[in-house]
Amino acid sequence: MSLRSFAAADSVAVAAASASAGRLRRAARRWRYASNTGRILLYAVLLVWTFTPIYNIVMIALEHEGDVYGSNIVPVQPSLDSFWVVFSQGYWYLEHFWEQFGNSAFIAGMVTFLVLLIGSLTSFTVGRMRLRNGWLLTNAALLTYVIPASFLAIPFYLIMNHYGLANNPWSVIAALVTFATPYAIFIFQEYGRSIPIELDESARIDGASPLHIYLRIYLPLMAPALVAVGTYALLLAWNEYLYQFLLLSDKRSMTVPVALAQFLNSDVAPWNYMMATAIIYALPPIATYYAFRHRMSSGLTMGGVKG
Amino acid sequence: MTVATVLDVGPPAPRRGRSFWRYWRGNLKGSEFTWALAFSVPYIAVFLAFVVYPVFYGLWMGSAPALYAEVFSDVIYRDTVINTLIFVALGVNLKLFLALLLSGVFMRPGRVTKVMLMLFVLPWAVPQLPAFISLHWMLNGEWGLLNNALWILGGIEGPSWLNERWTALGCAIASHLWKWTPFWTVILLAGRMSIPQDIYDAAKVDGATGLNSFLFVTFPLLSNLYLVLTLLATIFLLGDFNTVFFVTGGGPNNETHLLATLGIRNAFDLARPDLGVAAVMTALPVLIPLVIILMRRMKTAEVQL
């Protein structure tokens, strides 16, 4: 075999190889192109899906009352009048709006505080002080966590009436604390495992009382978990409707969601005012959520999966 | 909290006053034990007053057998059971399956994906009531945004979604998916992220890419979490009140109630609290086994939520 034929064979092989490499590259490019297009399409669908109801709230809040009953999909004469009406309580359904907003804020604040307090105290005794049979407490929490709150609403309502706590924000606070604390206990237990117990022990040897250890060592080190759970409790209180609706019926003691739902039952629901109210009500939790988003989602999955 | 600690606690052996306290005190010194008791009293009080008491009160309210004859003879109740089954079966599975797929989509690195995820979780941050009121009005057959858009963009005359049982129930399920899929996506995303990259690298060496790496690496490792989430989502969905209450209002003609909304309707619209409790109690034969399985799973698998 001559050198030339070698070279020829070689060049054929190279050509074949480069042809197939080219084919592969083209296929890869086509695949990448297709998958990118697919991804863009998927994102577009997700955006439309996510934002249509939100766009709907904003659109109606910007409309005049007459235009709500129309066939348009963009506001005809957008204006901020509805927001002004809500701010100035200038509609008879809204005459106590700020008071109701205050009630919502008070309930959410108290729930957050009590959930953090009771949850951290409980997980401190179970996880750090190792109270004997502490697992009973953890199991009680787990059990509460898996009971649907709406199934307990009727007896809870009757009991609260029995105690004379109807129309009292504390009845709602009690309900919400009950249903939010179990989650707090899990997260604190789980997070507490990452804090060395030796810290507590050395403080104990130095003569620190449990209260001192709780305040000076436990709480500061638990700060990230406290933020996660605090955000969770705040959002839970802001999301809740059923208990607030059952327990608060007086116009001045009710919260914003209860007042909003009352609009819905009136004969001519002023949809633009409702939506403006809804937006104002939705802003604080959205802001809180985005501020503490990373903390919260890491809190949600502390412990994660075990392979 | 592991099984081991449950086992080595052993049976309590309180003989006389002193040894009873010594048993409970364990290795805590005098004042420490007092502190521990003081610290655990708030939760014990909350649990007894607001969980144990209402549960037993409810059981007592719903203990008359005659009530169940009344519940079962109600046509609305029968519709409700079917609705609840459909709502839970479709709601849970669609939601988690979508969340599983979407969590894979959001695993991709890059800023676009991050921004998309941030936008996608917005429904989770919006409080339920404004969201569901908006959906209710959006689905209005005459003036709602959906039908207006269908007409203007496609020339299609949309149905009146909420005036017919099956479309109304479908809308309720879709609304639930809208509000809650982001939440489960974030959880499954964190689950995926906790799988070490080395496993994927090793699988790649063995030739597993794309679908195979999902089927043979991701899914087996996530299956336990997925199962726990399914159980949890089932329980949450059984107790879901707001979606149906606001999106369909139980209508048309009380045809789209779920057990949770029917209970409240019986108790307050009909002023028959005992009938409401009885309706809800009929879910217990399904709920109790679920709770037991879930409590065991959550403890052994250490999956926390």
Q: What is the pLDDT of residues B211-241, one digit of tens each?
A: 788 888 888 888 888 888 898 889 889 888 9
A275-278 long-range contacts, CB within 8 A, separation 24+: A275/A57, A275/A58, A275/A60, A275/A61, A275/A82, A275/B130, A275/B133, A275/B134, A276/A61, A276/A82, A276/A83, A276/A85, A276/A86, A277/A86, A277/A94, A277/A97, A278/A57, A278/A61, A278/B129, A278/B130, A278/B133, A278/B134
Give the rounded distance of the alpha carbon of B19 from its chain centre.
44
In angstroms, the separation between the Cα of residue A195 and the nearest Cα of chain B is 16
Which residue is closest to A236 within chain B, CA to CA? B127
A-chain CB neighbours of B32 within 8 Å are 129, 209-210
Whether pTM > 0.80 for this model: the answer is yes
Please give the average per-residue pLDDT across A101-129, as a whole number: 93
Burial group, residue B257, by CB count within 10 angstroms (0-12, 13-18, 19+):
buried
Q: pLDDT digits over B69-126, tens only?
A: 888 888 899 989 999 999 999 999 999 999 999 998 888 888 888 899 989 989 988 8
DSSP state of B270: S
**Total residues found in chain B within this entry:** 305
B212-218 long-range contacts, CB within 8 A, separation 24+: B214/B104, B218/B104, B218/B192
Please give the average per-residue pLDDT across A13-38, as a whole number: 78
Band (B3; pLDDT cuts 50, 70, 90): very low
Phi, psi of B2 (to 5 degrees): -120, 170
In angstroms, the separation between the Cα of residue A13 and the nearest Cα of chain B is 27
Task: Please tell me if residue A176 touches chain B, with a CB cutoff of 8 Å.
Answer: no
> Is the CB of A39 less than 8 angstroms away from the CB of B267?
no
Q: pLDDT digits over A269-285, tens only?
A: 788 888 899 999 999 98
Q: Cα-Cα-Cα-Cα dihedral of A96, A101, A102, A106, to 10°?
A: 140
Q: In this structure, are residues A120 and A184 in contact, taking their beta carbons and an 8 Å threshold? A: yes
Band (B176; pLDDT cuts 50, 70, 90): very high
* Crossing angle of the two packed helices A256-265 and B128-138, in degrees rounded to 10: 20
Alpha helices in B48-74 (DSSP H): 53-61, 65-72
Band (A295; pLDDT cuts 50, 70, 90): confident
DSSP state of A56: H
All residues at 6 or more sequence positions from A294 whose CB lies less than 8 Å from its CB, including other chains: none
Identify the three-state secondary structure at position B292.
Answer: helix
CA Rg value for chain B: 25
Q: In this structure, are residues B19 and B29 in contact, taking their beta carbons and an 8 Å threshold? A: no
Phi, psi of B254 (to 5 degrees): 60, 30
pLDDT at A161 over 60: yes
Average pLDDT across chain B, whole number: 83
The ipTM assigned to this model is 0.83
pLDDT of residue B300: 52
First to last CA, chain B: 15
Percentage of residues of chain B with pLDDT beyond 70: 91
Q: Which residue has the tokens 């007086």?
A: A250
- A306 → closest Cβ in B135, B190, B302: B302
B-chain CB neighbours of A72 within 8 Å are 148
B-chain CB neighbours of A157 within 8 Å are 267, 273
pLDDT of residue A20: 76
pLDDT of residue A176: 94
pLDDT of residue B156: 80
Task: Please tell me if residue B200 touches chain A, with a CB cutoff of 8 Å.
Answer: no
Give the rounded distance of the alpha carbon of B285 from its chain centre.
17
> Pick the residue with more confidence: B10 or B230?
B230
> Is the CB of B28 less than 8 angstroms away from the CB of A131?
yes
- B35 → closest Cβ in A148, A183, A210: A210
Percentage of residues of chain A with pLDDT beyond 70: 90
> Is the CB of A53 less than 8 angstroms away from the CB of B134?
yes
- A285 → closest Cβ in B28, B125, B148: B125
pLDDT of residue A170: 93
B-chain CB neighbours of A158 within 8 Å are 57, 61, 273
67-106 in B: which are within 8 Å (CB) of A? 102, 105
pLDDT of residue A49: 92
State how far the Cα of B276 lies from the Cα of A152, in Å rounded to an integer. 11
DSSP state of A298: H
> Pick the residue with more confidence: B194 or B276?
B276
Q: In this structure, are residues B77 and B262 in contact, taking their beta carbons and an 8 Å threshold? A: yes
> Is the CB of A139 less than 8 angstroms away from the CB of B240?
no
- A175 → closest Cβ in B50, B136, B287: B50
> Is the CB of B291 less than 8 angstroms away from the CB of A143?
yes
Please give the average per-residue pLDDT across A158-163, as a whole number: 88
String of DSSP letters for B222-233: HHHHHHHHHHHH
Among B129, B187, B288, the strongest candidate for a mutation testing the A interface, having the largest count of A CBs within 10 A, is: B129
**Residue A119 tokens, joined:** 């949850």
58-97 in A: which are within 8 Å (CB) of B? 59-60, 68-73
Q: In this structure, are residues B191 and B217 in contact, taking their beta carbons and an 8 Å threshold? A: no
Task: Name residue B204's amino acid.
Answer: K
Q: Which of A8-12, A49-53, A284-288, B91-95 has the lowest mean pLDDT?
A: A8-12
Among A49, A139, A146, the strongest candidate for a mutation testing the B interface, having the largest count of B CBs within 10 A, is: A146
Phi, psi of B106 (to 5 degrees): -80, 0
State how far the Cα of B111 lies from the Cα of B118, in Å rounded to an integer. 11
pLDDT of residue A11: 57
Identify the three-state secondary structure at position B208.
Answer: coil
pLDDT of residue B5: 40
Band (B294; pLDDT cuts 50, 70, 90): confident
Task: Name residue A93's amino acid.
Answer: Y
Task: List the one residue out of A82, A143, A138, A8 whose CA is nearest residue A272.
Answer: A82
Q: pLDDT digits over B273-285, tens only?
A: 888 898 888 888 8
Which residue is closest to A269 within chain B, CA to CA? B137
Task: Please tell me if residue B229 touches chain A, with a CB cutoff of 8 Å.
Answer: no
State how far the Cα of B99 lies from the Cα of A26, in Å rounded to an integer. 33
pLDDT at A3 over 50: no
- A148 → closest Cβ in B24, B239, B304: B239
In angstroms, the separation between the Cα of residue A250 and the nearest Cα of chain B is 16
State how far the Cα of B229 lies from the Cα of B67, in Å rounded to an integer. 34
Q: How many CB pairs under 8 A join A and B?
A: 300
State how far the Cα of A223 lies from the Cα of A266, in Å rounded to an integer. 46
All residues at 6 or more sequence positions from B305 whose CB lies less than 8 Å from its CB, including other chains: A183, A186, A300, A301, B187, B228, B229, B232, B298
DSSP state of B194: T
Q: pLDDT digits over B35-55, tens only?
A: 888 898 999 999 998 999 999
